[in-house]
Amino acid sequence: MDAKQVIVAGKAVLGIEFGSTRIKAVLIDPEHRPIAQGSHSWENQLEAGLWTYSLDAIWNGLQDCYADLCQDVRGQYGVEIERLAAIGVSAMMHGYMAFDASDRLLVPFRTWRNTNTGPAAAKLSELFNFNMPLRWSLSHLYQCILDGEPHVKDVRFLTTLAGYVHWQLTGRKVLGVGDASGMMPVDAATKDFDTQRIAAFDALVAPAGYPWKLADILPEVLPAGAPAGLLTGEGARLLDPSGRLQAGIPLCPPEGDAGTGMVATNAVKPRTGNVSAGTSSFSMIVLEKDLSRPYEVIDIVTTPDGSPVAMVHCNNCTSDINAWVNLFKEYQELLGVPVDMGAIYDRLFTVALRGDRDCGGLISYNYISGEPVMGLAEGRPLLVRKAEDRFNLANLMRAHLYASIGVLKVGNDILFGEEHVGVDRITGHGGLFKTKGVGQRFLAAALNSPISVMETAGEGGAWGIALLAEYCVANPDALPLADWLERCVFVGNAGTEVQPDPEDVAGFNDWIARYRETLPVEEAAVHCKR
């Protein structure tokens, strides 16, 4: 069937992902190809010192994104979406969404971007002998306890953004194991929340006398491929207020953006990895064995089917680049030149290839928010240069692009240099890789490793969660996820690979050494309250 027939027959699969700056929907056909897309731009808000998105922003954004998808379908094929084969919901991981017995949100959604949970994360890391990052849901909960927030006694359900949206669409309080592994530690054997650590947490907070136990307020954990509920009539209206979309559509377990990135890059088996680079960046290396010890800058999460993964998560990636590109956009508008944002990005990224391999001495810190890997609870975007540095456009853009993956290098140097983790293939995806050969080349230099990028690099997690939804309904041979992706989706397609250039590697190493040496300047900027 052609795409129009697929849509009319209800055989298309919908993937929706809530990113930090964009909600994106992708419709795929039974050959896994995107046939329509929709999007909605949004931004988090800083309220009372905490980053949040309102419930209205969540639902208005989802509905606008879905409406944009439907408009794309009408424009391309002249039909309406009424039935779907499956739906998947994904979102930025971690954070804090706590609900009471009446299913009311107790405090505004606290996103992964918040770094106020340092004391809680440190205590839990010690208690669990496991690195508990600042952004994880349990770190948020325990920080609320330490801070004596009165709402904690009323908590009856704790979930992530993906889990919340899925719950509202289906009525089921479930979570994919990959997203669950960003709430609190998961037991690799059971592929469920670690019961020993749940017991340790309950003992820790017992003196407070809360009327709940941790296991009672956590979602049910499901692996990839497990049935996770059907779209209810109310859920259908939440997604499509026009009333055209029919209820009864199966949904896959909701996942986090890390898991969908692994799926979108065919990186769910041991010795594979991926780098997702957008508003934030993170690398995911699927492990053959446990690390020798916990590291504060390395998170242990799982693939959507429960395999352990070493994750290096950086709070900041392209947001500062976007701000600089908007500056050039304003200049172009000032000259009366028509603006094509895609062309501006392509040209500015491409000119960076002409820059000095060490960026001519320029150092950029892209910390819009705090950067825990570097020990900073707050951020100040900063460009540092000496008077004699080679300050030109190529070096400026190269420095910003280096900065977008600089923190990522710091964490991965531990994995590859100290832990000697083996990896056969690393694949990049996300906005940083849309301009062909630029972000890919610089990442290869940063990690001193071959980097592959697929044609679907720009599709990102919305395509990944669509594949997970399809996996739930189109896997008659019950293949494991890694085998299904290899045999049915990618069929040997490993993308276009770039080898690290030795001179680029040397230049990036020189740059990162100065980046570390100059960090006190960034720290001073953070400490300077203005």
Please report how many Cα atoms fall inside a 13 Å half-sphere around the Cα of residue 282, on the Cβ side. Answer: 26
Kindly give the confidence (pLDDT) of every residue in the chain, 530 residues in length, as a single tens digit, with 9 standing for 90 and above: 899 999 999 999 999 999 988 999 999 999 999 999 999 999 999 999 999 999 999 999 999 999 999 999 999 999 999 999 999 999 999 999 999 999 999 999 999 989 899 999 999 999 999 999 999 999 999 999 999 999 999 999 999 999 999 999 999 999 999 999 999 999 989 999 999 999 999 999 999 999 999 999 999 999 999 999 999 999 999 999 999 999 999 999 999 998 998 999 899 999 999 998 888 888 999 999 999 999 988 999 999 999 999 999 898 999 999 999 999 999 999 999 998 999 999 999 999 999 999 999 999 999 998 898 898 988 999 999 999 999 999 999 999 999 999 999 999 999 999 999 999 889 988 788 889 999 999 999 999 999 998 876 555 789 999 999 999 999 999 999 999 999 999 986 767 899 999 999 999 999 999 999 999 999 999 998 76
CA nearest to 519, candidates 420, 407, 430, 390: 407
Distances (CA, A) of 332 to 102, 213, 349: 52, 58, 16
How would you write 115-179 as a 3-class SS string?
Answer: CCCHHHHHHHHHHHCCCCCCCCHHHHHHHHHHCCCHHHHHCCEEECHHHHHHHHHHCCCEEEHHH
Q: How far is CA 282 from the centre of its chain?
A: 7
- Look up residue 7 and give its DSSP letter: H
Euclidean distance between CA atoms 5 and 11, whole angstroms = 9
Residue 116, φ and ψ in degrees, nearest 5:
-85, 5
- Give the pLDDT score at 115: 86
- Per-residue confidence (pLDDT) for residue 292, from 0 to 100: 93
Q: What is the pLDDT of residue 277?
A: 86
End-to-end CA distance of the chain: 61
Assign 488 to helix, strand or coil. helix
CATH number of 1-92+164-169+225-265+458-499: 3.30.420.40
Cα–Cα dist 79/70, whole Å: 9
β-partners of residue 158 are: 98
Residues 6+ apart with CB under 8 A from 340: none
Domain spans of the chain? 1-92+164-169+225-265+458-499, 319-409+502-527
Between CA 160 and CA 254 the distance in angstroms is 9
Name residue, tokens 């491409």. Answer: 350
Residues ≥6 apart with Cβ < 8 Å to 379 = 315, 316, 365, 367, 368, 369, 370, 371, 526
pLDDT reported for residue 419: 94
Beta-sheet pairing, 34-41 with 22-28 = antiparallel
Instruction: Let me know: does 170 contact 230? Beta carbons within 8 Å.
Output: yes
In the prediction, which pLDDT does 456 show? 61
Q: How far is CA 214 from the centre of its chain?
A: 25
Task: Report d(CA 102, CA 154) in Å as an integer.
Answer: 10
Measured distance CA(375)–CA(371) in Å, rounded: 6
Contacts 24+ apart (CB under 8 A), 98-101: 98/141, 98/144, 98/151, 98/152, 98/155, 98/157, 98/158, 99/155, 99/156, 99/157, 99/158, 99/159, 100/154, 100/155, 100/156, 101/154, 101/156
Beta strands 382-384 and 363-365, pairing class: antiparallel
Structure tokens that stand for 214 in this block: 């941790």
What are the residue ranges of helices labelled H in 414-484?
439-447, 460-473, 481-484
* Under 8 Å between Cβ of 472 and 225: yes
Query: What pLDDT was estimated at residue 530?
Result: 67
Residue with token string 């999007």: 39
Centroid of chain to Cα 31: 25
| Euclidean distance between CA atoms 28 and 472, whole angstroms | 14
* Contact indicator for 457, 430 with CB cutoff of 8 Å: yes
Q: Rounded to an integer, what distance in angstroms lies between the CA atom of residue 430 and that of residue 454?
A: 11
Q: Give the HSE-up count for residue 498: Cα atoms under 13 Å, Cβ half-sphere.
A: 24
> CA 393, CA 383: separation in Å to the nearest integer?
13
- C-alpha distance from residue 519 to each of 366, 371, 525 (Å): 12, 12, 10
Which amino acid is it at 97?
Answer: M
How many angstroms separate the CA atoms of 205 and 225, rounded? 35
